[in-house]
Structure 1
Amino acid sequence: MSPPSVKQQLQTPTMFQRRTTETAQQPALLPCAEHNLDSEPQVSSADTQAALHAVQKLFKTELKAAVAEFSLQIRELGDRVDRLEYTADGHAAALQEDQKLIASHQAQMAQLENKVEDLENRSRRGNLRVREALGCPWNPNLPRDIVLKLHHVEVRDLALQAARAVNKDTLPQQMQLYAHLAPATLQKSRLLKPVTALLIQHKIKYR
């Protein structure tokens, strides 16, 4: 028996030839399945774009409302600031007027005080104050002042000149004679004491 030829040795069995033929022919996809696979990405992209558009529209709406509210608040604050500035200007003007009135009243009061002081000194023009003349009723050792009312002013002036000329130790009980002046005049005299002492030191007469 002769050996099989090469052609017969390379021939594929029938069962494998059928399977090979079936696998060689690739099955085609159904039209419905292809349509579904292609439409899914399109639907997903459309939904995403719609959602983004809705979010963008909502953001614009909210931002517009917030800007409108802020603008309203800024206008209200501006109106309040304007009213406050107007009120402050009015108060500043009123304060300036009040300060002028106060300064005027102070000047008038100073003039009135000077006039009252002058009238009080005129009413005491003939009086003579004797300091440390007598003792108090409740304590004889405690000296007190007395006021003498003289009929003529010239007599008072002569008594004051004589008291300045003599030594204080020569007067009875070391009395001191002064003109009976108003309290306001005495206060001014105390304030001017350093100046008057300097004038006396340099032998400069003052009145």
Structure 2
Amino acid sequence: MPPQKQKKAADGPVAPIFAARRTQEIRQDGGRTPPEDGGEDSAGIATLIPASKQDIAALFQKITEVQEILAGEIVRGSQVVKAEIQALGSRTSDLEARVEEVVQQANTSADVVNQLQDRVEGLEKAMEDASNRSRRNNLRIRGLSEEVSQAALEATVVGLFQRLLPDLPAESFLMDRVHRALRARGPPNSQPRDIILRLHYYKTKEKILRANRERCLHYEDVELQLFQDLAPITLARRRDWKPVTALLRAQGLKYTWGFPFRLIVTKDSRTFSCTNVSALPAFMDRLGLQMPDGVRSTLPPQIQRLPAEWQEVAD
């Protein structure tokens, strides 16, 4: 009797994954087990039990459940991320608004400080001018020995001035006061303190200064220096402009100091003046000279405004 052919599964070919799953389930249930020679029967064909429709349906059901779980987790995760992004955007918007307020307040403060600085500068100039005006009749003598006592100062100074202006009567040299600079006397070999005096007549003071430009004062073979007495702030400003005046002298240009503080230069029968360091480059350019190095401003710099570096966008 011819061997009976095996009946094919009605469900058609089955993927190995389903067959393997079915085989594993049979083993777990204590059913038939594959042969010990590597899982093949005597005919050399692997023992694979096809999965049923119920198995496939159950597998697809579990896949669907996993998909639903993953979709739910993705939705919940995206909602959490969206909420955090919205919260971060809200905080960022609040911070930008705060920063904008801070920038506005800083710019307002900078404007106020700059205005106050300009006012303080104006007040300082007014005080400087008032101080220099109160010293208009004052002269300062440098180099007179400390051996000259306070009691002999007036007579000694009048004698020096009479050598410069012998034609003036003694009454013209009337002095309101004369004294040494108000500081402690230095060591024996140090520079003697300056003599500060106030002449009663302004015209006499001017004549003494003009005569001193042509003829120097001497006391016991020591050459003395004669200056107009000025406010300390004026002297400090003139020291700061020393590179400029040195350049002018090197170029043979005549200059003088004006009041309130300004530098006046004469070139080619024309007069040029400058009052502050910020205008000095243009002043030197008009004179046809290069800006010297080492010029320092006694004024603090202006406070710069802060720019707004962001823009608001629509949601």
- Give me the TM-score of the superposition, normalised by structure 1: 0.73
- Of residues 237, 257, 273, the one that matches 1:188 is 237
The Cα offsets for residues 82-132 of structure 1, whole Å up to 9 and x where unpaired, read as 111111111111111111111101100110110110111112111110111
Cα RMSD, aligned residues only: 2.8
CA 1:24–1:196: 2 relative to 1, 3 Å? closer
Query: What is the percentage of aligned positions where both structures have the same residue?
Result: 30
CA 1:39–1:120: 2 relative to 1, 3 Å? same
Q: Answer yes or no: is the 8 Å Cα contact 2:138–2:197 preserved in 1.
A: yes
Tell me which stretches of 4 or more aligned residues in structure 1 moved more than 6 Å.
Answer: none
Q: Residue 176 of structure 1 corresponds to which residue in structure 2?
A: 225
SS at match of 2:189: strand
- Of residues 113, 138, 161, the one that matches 2:124 is 113
Q: Answer yes or no: is the 8 Å Cα contact 1:130–1:176 preserved in 2.
A: yes
Count of residue correspondences: 173
- Of residues 173, 176, 187, the one that matches 1:139 is 187
Are 1:75 and 2:86 counterparts?
yes
Q: Residue 149 of structure 1 corresponds to which residue in structure 2?
A: 198
CA 1:171–1:39: 2 relative to 1, 3 Å? closer
For 2:186 and 2:237, the matched residues in 1 are separated by 32
Tell me by how many angstroms 1:199 deviates. Answer: 5.5
For 2:256 and 2:108, the matched residues in 1 are separated by 42
The Cα offsets for residues 52-95 of structure 1, whole Å up to 9 and x where unpaired, read as 11101101110110011011011101101111111111111111
Tell me by how many angstroms 1:195 deviates. Answer: 4.1
For 1:144 and 1:24, the matched residues in 2 are separated by 143
Q: Output aligned runs, 1:154-173, within 5 Å.
A: 154-166=203-215, 168=216, 171-172=218-219, 173=222
The Cα offsets for residues 162-181 of structure 1, whole Å up to 9 and x where unpaired, read as 21111x4x611211110110
Compare CA radii of gyration and give the structure with the larger one.
1
Q: Residue 105 of structure 2 corresponds to which residue in structure 1?
A: 94
Q: Answer yes or no: is the 8 Å Cα contact 1:129–1:147 preserved in 2.
A: yes
CA 1:120–1:68: 2 relative to 1, 3 Å? same
Q: Residue 95 of structure 2 corresponds to which residue in structure 1?
A: 84
Q: Answer yes or no: is the 8 Å Cα contact 1:134–1:140 preserved in 2.
A: no
CA 1:110–1:24: 2 relative to 1, 3 Å? closer
Q: Residue 129 of structure 1 corresponds to which residue in structure 2?
A: 140
Tell me by how many angstroms 1:204 deviates. Answer: 3.3
The Cα offsets for residues 26-60 of structure 1, whole Å up to 9 and x where unpaired, read as xxxxxxxxxxxx99612211210111111011011
Point out the structure with the larger helix share. 1
Amino acid at match of 2:66: V
Tell me by how many angstroms 1:138 deviates. Answer: 5.2
For 1:122 and 1:24, the matched residues in 2 are separated by 141
- Give me the TM-score of the superposition, normalised by structure 2: 0.49
Structure 2 residues not aligned, in runs of 5+: 5-48, 147-183, 258-315
